[in-house]
A and B are shown apart, each in its own frame.
Chain A
């Protein structure tokens, strides 16, 4: 395309204009496409599937927590029958090599002979739930899918800066998906050391005598993560370059829609925080396959009185530092795109400008900066020393300031607005209190002393799930409902949307709120039987397990209207025009759905992103691309002529 096709006989200065008006074949158009919209949809569908898959893993685990040791309905019963057939070990995923049925043996090995989730299976599902939800579900949907689809449209660009790298990013991500899924069916099953993969456990996990050095869960996890990280890097370079280089004339920085700002900052977080984890991933890979000891301490004894043969000298804390150096900014990678979407939707549905747009932009800058120096608050329990803890405790408290600014601005944006309660707005509005609960319950965790008690209890689980589940995932739903008309030209069903929203809101709180109670009572997050063994300790809160599990099952049912609505509306939904929400930002200036190259008319920006209900205006919204009444005025903010592809009409 642009870069390679330059050997036509044209002028030096024309950066290769193109004559690809010929029709692209099916493969180039839908599979190996360089169009940012197709790539966005590819990311979106893959990511949504993974979100669903990760949720299913958790449902199986929730059954085990509610009914420890009882056969899981349907799949567990099926597994129990096959167990007898294959004569598998009682409570572990078999590690024998590859033959015709290795994949089936690994799958049913996650269950025991009675059909209940086995201990190994529980660990596997837990580790993979975390990994999949964070790296294969939310980041691909919230950042890669919405970012790819919406950002170039919102800045008036014909595509991403590097369309081929964009495609490479998706396919690298796809390889990592295949590796992760494949790890479920290899002998020994997928990774079991938690999504954090802490050594020493992760270095020795799945390393049996006779087992394969490479074909085991944890090693594939590491390889998959290296691919995933590479995909993120390719994507984030592209996002930043696109936003800096391809803004339409007149679209100055303080006229960027907040969603684009959020994606911009998120891309920086991914760009700079992920590489140290990639480095750590290489190290752990070497620890596993080359016998090094980056993370294995000297004199470690796994079996009593038997010293391991590692050379030693490694440090488990090193992994934790490098891991959380990524994983804390990762939290903001999960939440910033969500905040961006919510901001767009709130401004649009309250029909008034965002309250404190500038303050919000500054706040996400500060948030991103601080997020790089708070990571060790995940490590208070390691006993790394009071001085270190004090430093990270202070920075962690500091980071709550920009978070509160963001939430407050969004809340104040509602004030005095003529709110339209569309389905996206319902999700966006619900995001605010849910994010609030998640955020405020984090404050006790920021303090060393209280964290020592709450760490690794269900309180933590509730805290971060409130941020990402009713937080980010609600924002993702809001985004899907909001931009669906632009993507398909049809609305999603209103009634089913309401059903989906209200049921989800009720049941998701049913899942997560009791976790606060359990956590404060001391229920540990990694108990395989949900705490039955520790009945005397936590008896009074044990009964919540059933309540939460059944809420989770009902939450799963509540997603059916969404799935149905999603596919049904593509074909049968109510048709829309180009700007159904009467929004101001540039993505609504394209035809619906946008063609390859996006804009059919030259685009220029004359005003800020949220000019709703401007006093004296004819309509209650003024699109960014609408020229001022005084036609002689040029798009401001430009000092030199811009490239013809995005230059305004002359």
Chain B
């Protein structure tokens, strides 16, 4: 049986079926991401000052990923244009670039950005104890600058309370730190690191020990605080300073995973869902690129049909790009 207007447009609407279908689907996607973004705004606006972390993402990597996605948007529209002009080889090239861009984006997300978060750790200090940690929080200076106070001390975990799920993480962090110290000291013998005495000790097994981020490490000077309150995570290097956070002062402690804060909950949910969209797009493009029925082979029998398919998948791809154009400033920059 024959469904009309699968390839050619219906005269009175000027559309072929799939084009209308994809736009309807995109309308629902607008509502889906609209719901997520409205949740983000809702949570951010109702959060207590000082509890909404910002500047914890890696801006250069995010910017690079934005470039990658925009470039892929250009190549996919060019791939479609090539098909319209019946230049098949050109189509294959552009489509291949698009697929590679999509994979690159996903690779950076999965193997650079997210693991970076999983290795980072933050401890939120109870309100009544923040005075004790003034040198690493810099709240007096922040108050002078008329900025929200800070409650979180972040960096790499060197020691975690006995029996907590973060012990393994702390062990890794401590080893890494020792290695760094040796390098710094100039004797560079990585092999010795294992035999070295533990550098950080705390008498209470329930305390957290953290190798501080530069932002925390420089919180004792006005310039440092100012820099920290502006700066983004330009792969924010860890200092060689450490801090011990007493067990009784800890409100919550977590690596930068979804449960860390509402901010990271939103970040992982939205970028995760966006990543799934990228993955779906890449799979569809691979299908249209491979010489299989319904894919690139369709060119031989019905090039217009293949062009339509690429156009429709391209519309989806542009939408994914469009979502990223909002994700990037909202999460990374503002």
Contact = CB atoms under 8 A, between A and B. Distances in A.
Do A and B come into direct contact in the complex, CB within 8 Å?
yes
Interface of A: 1-4, 6-10, 12-13, 15-18, 20, 157-159, 161-163, 165, 233, 236-238, 240-241, 244-246, 271-280, 282-283, 286, 290-294, 298, 309-315, 318, 321-322, 325, 596-597, 638-646
Q: Does more than half of chain A's interface fall in helix, strand or loop, or is it mixed?
A: loop
B67 to A, nearest CB: 28
A237 B260 contact: no
A272 B297 contact: no
Contact of B4 (A10, A158, A310): A158
Interface stretch (B15-23, B57-65, B103-111, B325-333): B15-23
Contacts of A12: 7, 302-304
B229 interface: no
Interface of B: 1-8, 10-13, 15, 17-18, 20-21, 24-25, 27-29, 31-36, 38-39, 42-43, 46-48, 51-52, 124, 252, 254, 257-262, 265-266, 268-269, 273, 293-294, 297-298, 300-305
A315 B10 contact: no
A646 B2 CA distance: 10
A169 B190 CA distance: 58
A38 to B, nearest CB: 13
B11 A244 contact: no
A261 to B, nearest CB: 17
A483 to B, nearest CB: 22
Choose among A2, A3, A277 the residue with the greatest number of B CB atoms under 10 Å from its CB.
A3
Given A12-B303, A272-B28, A2 B6 contact: yes
A162 B24 CA distance: 13
Contacts of B42: 315, 318, 321
Contact of A642 (B11, B20, B36, B265): B11
Contacts of B302: 6-7, 12, 16
Contact of A158 (B1, B24, B52, B294): B1
A282 B269 contact: yes
9 contacts: A2-B2, A12-B302, A15-B4, A161-B20, A276-B34, A290-B257, A291-B258, A311-B259, A596-B1
Contacts, number: 207
Given A286-B265, A313-B43, A315-B42, 19 more contacts: A6-B301, A12-B302, A12-B303, A162-B3, A272-B27, A277-B35, A278-B32, A280-B35, A283-B269, A290-B268, A292-B265, A294-B39, A294-B265, A311-B261, A313-B47, A315-B43, A325-B35, A643-B4, A643-B5
A279 B39 contact: yes
B12 A233 contact: no
A158 B4 CA distance: 8
B317 to A, nearest CB: 18
Given A6-B302, A313-B43, A313-B47, A16 B265 contact: no
Nearest to A163: B3
A241 B1 CA distance: 18
Contacts of B4: 15, 157-158, 245-246, 642-646
Contacts of B8: 13, 15, 643
A641 B11 contact: yes
A237 B21 contact: yes
Choose among A293, A313, A597, A640 the residue with the greatest number of B CB atoms under 10 Å from its CB.
A313
Nearest to B124: A311
Contacts of A233: 25, 28
A640 B301 contact: no
Q: Give 7 closest A-B pairs by Cβ, nearest first.
A: A276-B35, A640-B11, A279-B35, A643-B4, A275-B32, A291-B259, A292-B265
B301 A8 contact: yes
B2 A18 contact: yes
B27 A271 contact: yes
A2 B3 CA distance: 6
B21 A161 contact: yes
A135 to B, nearest CB: 17
A16 B303 contact: no
A298 B126 CA distance: 13
Contacts of B10: 245, 642-643
A589 to B, nearest CB: 17
Given A2-B2, A158-B3, A245-B10, A318 B43 contact: yes
A639 B32 contact: no
B258 A290 contact: yes
B2 A645 contact: yes
A642 B13 CA distance: 11
Contact of B252 (A20, A162, A290, A311): A311
A642 B5 CA distance: 9
A279 B32 contact: yes
A292 B11 CA distance: 51
A645 to B, nearest CB: 5
B15 A245 contact: yes
A309 B2 contact: no
Nearest to A274: B28
Contacts of A276: 31-32, 34-35, 38
Contacts of B304: 12
Contact of A245 (B2, B17, B34, B297): B17
B2 A158 contact: yes
Contacts of A4: 293-294
A157 B4 CA distance: 9
A293 B35 contact: no
Nearest to A277: B35
Contacts of B298: 6-7
Nearest to A278: B32
Nearest to A4: B294
A275 B20 CA distance: 19
Contacts of B262: 292-294, 311, 313-314
Choose among A15, A16, A286 the residue with the greatest number of B CB atoms under 10 Å from its CB.
A15
Contacts of B259: 290-293, 310-311
Contacts of B20: 161, 240-241, 244-245
A6 to B, nearest CB: 5
Contact of A597 (B1, B11, B124, B297): B1
A16 B261 CA distance: 54
Contacts of B31: 271-276
A394 to B, nearest CB: 22
A15 B32 contact: no
A236 B28 CA distance: 10
A309 B24 CA distance: 42
Nearest to A643: B4
Given A3-B6, A7-B300, A646-B4, A279 B294 contact: no
